[in-house]
Amino acid sequence: MALRGTLKDFGIADIFQLIGHQTKTGILLLKNRDSEVKVSFKEGTVVKVESQTRQKKELLGHMLVRAEVLTDQQLEEALTNQRRSLRRLGDVLTQNGWITKELLGSFARLQATETIYRLFSWESGTYEFEQKDVAPDPDFGEALRAESVLMEGFRMVDEWPMIRKKITGYGMCFATMKPLPDEAAEDDGGFDDAFGEMGDDKPKKKKKGDPDIGASERKVFALVTPERDVQKLIDLGRIGEFETCKALSVLLQKGYIATKTVEAKRPTTPPIEHGGLVTDKSFAPTLAWSFVGLVAVVLVVGLGIFVGRADVSLLPRSFAVTTPPAVKAALLSAQRERITLALETLRLEEGRYPDDLQALVRAGLLQASDLQFPAEAPFSYHVQGPSYELVPPLP
């Protein structure tokens, strides 16, 4: 069976459904810009997943380090041994006793499924299926039925938009607010239960607690600390990006956790009281400038909403040079939000975050000057697996 084309004509779901329904054996090659994924099928089931363009943090060894299963030193030693012996990394790790075969298999399967489900966010690209014998990945475990992949993929596509309204970034941190209900607690059925079972002499028992709190929510809740952000919870949870973010969304909605708020650092200069208003000597000289600067930010962002994007060229260059540090910090914060919004827009359009910020300029979402305003140096940007790090320059 020769099957090739573009994903706009024949989507990921259609391809998996066709291969699974016809129980075909072969390799499906999918390409999207700089991404390339190979999915091996055996009689319609997925037995191996390979990504030719995985980011460093998506590699198996680095997943184990981020999950605190391995240390950086152990991984480096294992990689050195692998290069010398030409053996598989998993074999080196298990032979040294640093990880069990069962745990290695669970991480290998997680790595593969995360790659598969990320394909459902692709809106463009090409595909090609070649019928041939395939060798299953020994660490993959039980093969995945194409129907199961489809159901899970559709569920993710359907639920992600609502989840992202609550989990807006991978740098969010949380604090626990109240304990979860006892999973095993039970109670005698009340009036409603007795009425519903009118012909039964024995009242039914029902479980107490919140029916929306399942195993994933309990696992994530146990890992929540104010110091761990979303990305760290994904790494430690070992249940995948989607399941972790969904669990956090449920816990937030139910009030079991809350977004951690960071208190602003107080100035070290002793405050001075003026008619009940407490001010600070080091801050007072820039108060008027800060107000002017914030008004300028509001005007620029407001204009951006009107025309589709804020144009920082409307402000004179001398403004960025002579503005006090407090105002520059406010401007940098506002500019960081604009760049973040542009990154999310491009991710939705192309299915992944860009490799560099210049891609936002090429896509017409920002201007080149936006990437460093109001500082002289540009923003620092690094892709980190499914997320990224965006650091503004010093004001």
Quick: pLDDT tens for 74-118. Answer: 989 988 988 888 888 888 888 889 999 888 888 888 888 888 888
Q: What pLDDT is recorded for position 282? A: 39
The pTM for the full model equals: 0.57
Q: What is the per-residue pLDDT for 281?
A: 38
Q: How confident is the model at residue 197 (pLDDT cuts 50, 70, 90)?
A: very low
pLDDT at 5 over 80: yes
Return the closest-CA partner of residue 382 out of 56, 75, 119.
56
pLDDT at 370: 79
Least confident of 191-200, 205-214, 288-297: 191-200
The reported pLDDT for the residue numbered 58 is 61
- Of 81-90, 151-160, 263-272, 319-328, minimum mean pLDDT range: 263-272
Query: Of the ranges 139-143, 174-178, 323-327, which one carries the lowest mean pLDDT score?
Result: 323-327
Residue 237, pLDDT above cutoff 90: yes
> Is the pLDDT confidence value at 192 over 60?
no
Is the model's pLDDT at 193 over the cut of 60?
Answer: no
Q: Are 141 and 41 in contact (CB under 8 A)?
A: no
What contacts 314, CB < 8 A, 6 or more positions away? 300, 303
What confidence score (pLDDT) does residue 212 get?
A: 84
What is the structure's pLDDT at 51? 84
Q: What is the pLDDT of residues 256-279, one digit of tens each?
A: 999 986 443 434 334 333 333 333
Residue 296 CA to residue 290 CA, distance in Å, equals 10
Domain ranges of the chain: 3-150, 174-259, 285-391
Q: 3-state DSSP helix/strand/coil percent for the chain, to nearest 5? A: 50, 15, 35
Q: How far apart are the first and last CA of the chain?
A: 60
Residue 384: pLDDT above 60?
A: yes
Note the pLDDT tens digit of each residue in 11-31. Answer: 888 899 899 989 999 999 999
DSSP-derived secondary structure letter, 391: E
pLDDT level of residue 218 (50, 70, 90 thresholds): very high
At residue 307, the pLDDT reads: 39
Q: What is the DSSP string of 156-217?
A: HHHHHHHHHHH---TT-BEEE-SPPPPTT-EEE--HHHHHHTTT-SSPPEEE-S-TT--HHH
Q: Is the pLDDT of residue 362 over 60?
A: yes
Nearest to 126 by CA among 36, 242, 254: 36
**Dihedral angle sign, alpha carbons of residues 147, 153, 157, 158:** positive
For residues 296 and 125, the model is more confident at 125
pLDDT score recorded for residue 135: 87
* Minimum mean pLDDT range among 87-96, 315-324, 352-361: 315-324
Among 390, 386, 395, 339, CA closest to 160: 386
